[in-house]
Amino acid sequence: MRRRDFIKVIGSTMAAWPLAARAQQPDRVRRVGALWGLAEDDPEMKARVAEFRRGLEQLGWLENVNIRTDERFVAGRADQLPPLAKELVALQPDVIVAQSTPVAVALQRETHTIPIVFVAVSDPIGSGLITSLARPGQNLTGVLFFEDGITGKWLAMLKEIAPRLGRAAFVANPAGTAYDYFLRSAKAAASSLAIELVPSPVTNADDTQHAIEAFARVPNGGLILPPDNTTIGLRDLVIALAARHRLPAVYAYRSFVVAGGLMAYGTDPVHQYRQVAFYVDRILRGANPADLPVQTPTKYETAINLKTAKALGLDVPPTLLARSDEVIE
């Protein structure tokens, strides 16, 4: 099946979920494993897991009726990845959901036979998870989180809201295998916008604070926060530092804007977790992940916090407001 045709199938199948839910069910309880990158009590994690479970239910998979779900939460602790991946694989589930590139890589090291559906992964080819988007070729498939060209959009938004901006700190954990993927693209986009890109690698709260404070000593700067489990876990700290040092910032997640960040542009993560449920359903019904094309992002959202913009002394251009899907006042 060609990738374009598969995307059409996803749309038509998702639209017909009530019918799919009435499809013939297997005669045994299937086991679904999930290794989530964030903390179990993280609000964003809760919303994503809830949407994934809702998707499974609408496809006819009911917990403790015909499926049993075993979940583990990494909570941003890289040292916990190997043991949690090993523990989950030892349960021999029928399929495993992997949230984030490091999680998918850790699971891939543990099994080449159990099907794995990934989400929140932006460079699956460069990370060695798949051979191509159209034909993954191994035991992994899933939903592409961000394409690398999105970094140009983030930098352009910064320049639009702060025309005098001349520097942008790229704040993320280099341990994430998508770090270089976004950084390369950001460097190219920054050059075309006459912005000096400053890589600011972070791994914990202390060096995040140090990196942002050091960057803020030179005026006319701003921050871009690519998708990264470390900075998601430090969301409140990052937002507070941006406000304290009057740094305009653009984030990959709407949740940062809701929490007081300036603006965000990215995919709709909740929608993507519904798509993950579709992949799990296909695999539980016999599909081979090697033959299921990776789905690219189809839905993006822009959010801006006017209260934060005012606190930073920024006038939001009407063109930016007109493009926003959500404006927080």
Nearest to 172 by CA among 191, 159, 188, 185: 185
Sorted by sequence, the CB contacts under 8 Å of residue 307 that are 6+ apart come out as: 260, 328, 329
DSSP 28: S
Claim to verify: residue 185 and residue 316 sit in the same structural domain: yes
Question: Count of domains in the chain?
Answer: 2
DSSP 193: T
Claim to verify: residue 40 and residue 124 sit in the same structural domain: yes
Claim to verify: residue 13 and residue 123 sit in the same structural domain: yes
Rounded to whole angstroms, the Cα distance separating 9 from 4 reads 9
Handedness of CA 15, 286, 57, 295 (dihedral sign): negative
For 248, the domain range is 150-266+301-328
Claim to verify: residue 88 and residue 195 sit in the same structural domain: no
Claim to verify: residue 53 and residue 120 sit in the same structural domain: yes
Claim to verify: residue 61 and residue 175 sit in the same structural domain: no
CATH of the domain at 110: 3.40.50.2300
Is the whole model's pTM more than 0.85, yes or no? no
pLDDT tens track, the chain, 329 positions: 444 444 444 544 444 444 344 344 556 899 999 999 889 998 888 999 999 999 999 999 999 999 999 999 998 788 899 999 999 999 999 999 999 888 999 999 999 999 999 998 989 999 999 999 999 999 999 999 988 889 999 999 999 999 999 999 999 999 876 789 999 999 999 999 999 999 999 999 999 999 999 999 999 999 999 988 889 889 999 999 999 999 999 999 999 999 999 999 999 877 899 999 999 999 999 999 999 999 998 888 999 999 999 999 999 999 999 999 999 99
Claim to verify: residue 98 and residue 163 sit in the same structural domain: no
Claim to verify: residue 245 and residue 285 sit in the same structural domain: no
Helix (H/G/I), strand (E/B), else coil: 214: helix
Q: Yes or no: say if 276 and 35 are a contact pair by the CB < 8 Å rule.
A: no
Helix (H/G/I), strand (E/B), else coil: 218: coil
Residue 123: both structure tokens together:
């460079």
Claim to verify: residue 305 and residue 199 sit in the same structural domain: yes
